[in-house]
Structure 1
Amino acid sequence: MTTTKKYWTGGVAAIALMAAGTSSAVADTWRYAFEEALDEVQGVFAQKFKEEVEANSDHEIQLFPYGTLGESADIMEQTQDGILQFVDQSPGFTGALIPEAQVFFVPYLLPKDQEALNAFFRNSVAINEMFPELYAEQGLELLTMFPEGEVCMTTKGPVASPADLNEVKFRVMTNPLLVESYKAFGATPTPLAWGEVYGGLQTNIIQGQENPMFFIESTKMYEVTDYITCAGHNNFTTAVMANSDFFAGLSPEDQAMIQAAIDAAFDHILEYQQGLHQESIDKVMAAKPDMTVTVLTDEQRQPFMDSAASVEAAFIDMTGDSGKAILDQMKADLAAVAN
């Protein structure tokens, strides 16, 4: 996800950053890249984290919104190499490294109820105990995961059933399970870098895409589509990570300070998102009054929900016993917050 058209190659960005400081393990200036603009959800989280770190230590946080250091793959590579100390990246892009993280794209797995959703992200055994081990295998210290908002579809034609997505070229992230999800929904999934989405919709190379409402509004996806459909199928999830070697080299005091800053930013971002979905719809309608926004009824959602079983099966095929264990634990975690 992005709102900017500025791109650097990973190599140029790496050289620039390496010139900016010394070893990440001893640097007083820490670098944090994310996939959105400063005024979007990941940027708001990052700014709160920066505020907390700088208020409670002598360290400085430099923030790099999406596009300033390249694409998602670039900032992940830079974090694994220790050029960046922190990165915020959706499992949608991390899925190639950590296939089990694709579990967040199983349709209708996460609850729509905001309190239940927030409680799940706070207390989930899968998130807090199982995923950190998987991220560690890739040189990453998983600090937190948090939801960014209900995902809605923007399309050129109305969508009330999977039949309406037949032959629709629908942009998805480069994520195998998301491809399977939209196949199950009846569309023709088309993996595409975010920087190409607006132009792709404008020229009809693709006819649809999905994102949280705040992002649909801020990136002006409504300018090149005519229908927004909220089917309740997912809530966009993201993860904040640190380079493992960097984090392990910190003093216990700095590690505790970072975790406290993460916790404060987590609380802040959940509060920030209250009402954001509807506010974003209101802004879209003010900017384009003839836009059609539809929230599917339970009856209309059922055919989409029926596809979840096939996507779950595809997830287990991709990830084996490890993925099944994650999925089973997540279902247990979700059942716990539903009671």
Structure 2
Amino acid sequence: MFTKIGMGLATAVLALGLSTPASAETLRYAHVGAEGDLQTRYASEAAQAIQDATDGNINVQVFPASQLGGVAEMVDGVRMGSIDMGHHDFASLARIVPEAAVFNAPYIYRDAEHALHATAPDSPAVQKINQQLIDKGGVRIIGRIYRGKRHISSNFAVKSPDDLSKKPFRAVPLDLWVSMVKGFGATPTPVAVSELPTALMTGLVVGQENPLTMINANQLYEVQSHVSLTGHMDSVLAVFVNERKWQSLEESDRQAIEAVLDDKAEQSLQWAQASESELIQTLQDKGMTVFGEEDGLDVAAFRDQVRAQIDKDFPNFKPYIEMIAEVE
């Protein structure tokens, strides 16, 4: 169980509940997810399962909710080795290899299962990116998390890109998101996740996009009135590790960790799919209006404009998108 953020890092570390050998290797695992988010459950359960699977050889300490810094600080920390592992959108690794962002590109997966298979560490596209990450940044992808489809929330009805024309809209502070928000027709305004509720409340931005689990966990229903089920991204996060630390572990422990993360990836897909309809009802009960295609939401218009903007801004994605499309 996690303590409140303000109680400090020492008490915020995940308590695994099992005694560990004096010789156990400790891995510091950071992420930006809030309590109640699916990704936070993933990290917590994976940490416990890794300790079990390695017979206590590996002790994982999880630092959630940006306790070790925001996305950029986390990625740089893993590169330098001050943080051993972390997870975030694949696009966060574009700081090292720009093409890594392709796995978060909008409207490139056929469905959720395809997204999970195409982002597995043994898929051809991930293997190609992974080798570049290792060579250029000393970082290796070892797993992934499926969080669900990302949708738009706003403080007014959004049924087509015209409704967002030139309005300030929150973009994750990554180039891919800036491009996507341009495709929405809006004006991209980078805002860190920790500052998002305030930015929405003050009107710095009029909307944002995220999986429903995040919209609910971060209580965005308090500052947003509408959700548009655009499903523009299958939100898949990369789990990555410092390569030097990874190679310092026993091979049997590395294999055990990979097996745990793969199992948890499959579970995350099940969690996300099971919670989608329940979350829609929850958000409606909390006062939000939810629009789907049956309510006049023009998903095709969003798809066409966003893909055109991505193709324009990221022509180097094309061979990777083709590789992703070939995954069964």
Amino acid at match of 1:303: A
Match of 2:17 in 1: none
Quick one: which of 285, 294, 318 aligns to 1:324? 318
- How many angstroms does 1:281 deviate by? 1.6
Quick one: which of 285, 294, 309 aligns to 2:291? 294
Distance 1:198 1:135 in 2: 33
Quick one: which of 49, 52, 56 aligns to 1:52? 49
1:92/1:175 contact within 8 Å kept: yes
Match of 1:22 in 2: none
Q: How does 1:250-265 map to 2 (within 5 A)?
A: 250-265=249-264
Q: How does 1:300-311 map to 2 (within 5 A)?
A: 300-307=298-305, 308-311=307-310
Match of 2:166 in 1: 167
Match of 2:71 in 1: 72
TM-superposition CA deviations, 1:18-57 (whole Å, max 9, x none):
xxxxxxxx86222111121353222222122212221122
Q: How does 1:14-33 map to 2 (within 5 A)?
A: 28-33=25-30
Match of 1:114 in 2: 112
TM-superposition CA deviations, 1:152-172 (whole Å, max 9, x none):
111111111111001221001
Amino acid at match of 2:298: Q
TM-superposition CA deviations, 1:292-339 (whole Å, max 9, x none):
1001359822221222133123112xxx4xx43322211222xxx3xx
Residue 93 of structure 1 pairs with residue 92 of structure 2: yes
Residue 130 of structure 1 pairs with residue 124 of structure 2: no
Distance 1:39 1:299, change over 3 A: closer
Match of 1:40 in 2: 37
Distance 2:175 2:195 in 1: 19
Amino acid at match of 1:301: V
Contiguous gaps of at least 5 residues in structure 2:
14-22
TM-superposition CA deviations, 1:75-107 (whole Å, max 9, x none):
222212212221112124332332112213432
2:168/2:186 contact within 8 Å kept: yes
- How many angstroms does 1:287 deviate by? 2.2
Q: How does 1:258-297 map to 2 (within 5 A)?
A: 258-288=257-287, 291-296=288-293
Q: 152-161 or 50-59: which moved more?
A: 50-59
Query: TM-score, normalised to structure 2's length?
Result: 0.86
Amino acid at match of 1:87: G
Distance 1:230 1:268 in 2: 23
Secondary structure class of the residue paired with 1:35: coil
TM-superposition CA deviations, 1:228-281 (whole Å, max 9, x none):
001121111210011100111122112112112212222222222232122222
- How many angstroms does 1:207 deviate by? 0.3
Secondary structure class of the residue paired with 1:306: helix
Amino acid at match of 1:212: P
Q: How does 1:209-224 map to 2 (within 5 A)?
A: 209-224=208-223
1:34/1:88 contact within 8 Å kept: yes
Amino acid at match of 1:241: F
Secondary structure class of the residue paired with 2:285: helix
Amino acid at match of 1:130: K
Distance 2:308 2:169 in 1: 21
Q: How does 1:161-240 map to 2 (within 5 A)?
A: 161-240=160-239
Amino acid at match of 1:165: L
Distance 2:131 2:125 in 1: 10
Query: Identity of paired residues, percent?
Result: 26
